[in-house]
Structure 1
């Protein structure tokens, strides 16, 4: 079965002096397997990296027995130890 990635685009806007509007465009690709975030401050756009330096991270959230929330690769590693 084929699944298409869904994109969510938000524009973050702030008022400058007078009528000047400043803003950034943020795109979020929520995939079934991986997700990533892109920000466009100026051209070209920039794909944000997570704390592990990866541009795309697994679309996984896990909770440990002591109620810690894990996301991305740490959550994926948790699935092996705690299915």
Structure 2
């Protein structure tokens, strides 16, 4: 399995989860785990996904999610799991 971590942060709005999940489904990315919260009007979501069956290169997925975030008014970041883990090790 080839995992990645996706984070989504921004002002809350209708349809954020739906748009991100639809994009992932279109690109054959499977959502393994998802957690989201809204705090004082700010939306925060973290997803663990399996990108082993994704169509296209990982860099295309990263760029596409970034563009989607610009379109819907949030910041979407996608990192390979091993990079995310190393960056956030205490």
Band of TM-score, shorter chain: under 0.3
TM-score by length of 1: 0.26
| Structure with the larger RCO, 1 or 2 (CA within 8 Å, 6+ apart) | 2
Structure number with higher strand proportion: 1
Structure ID, larger Rg: 1
TM-score by length of 2: 0.25
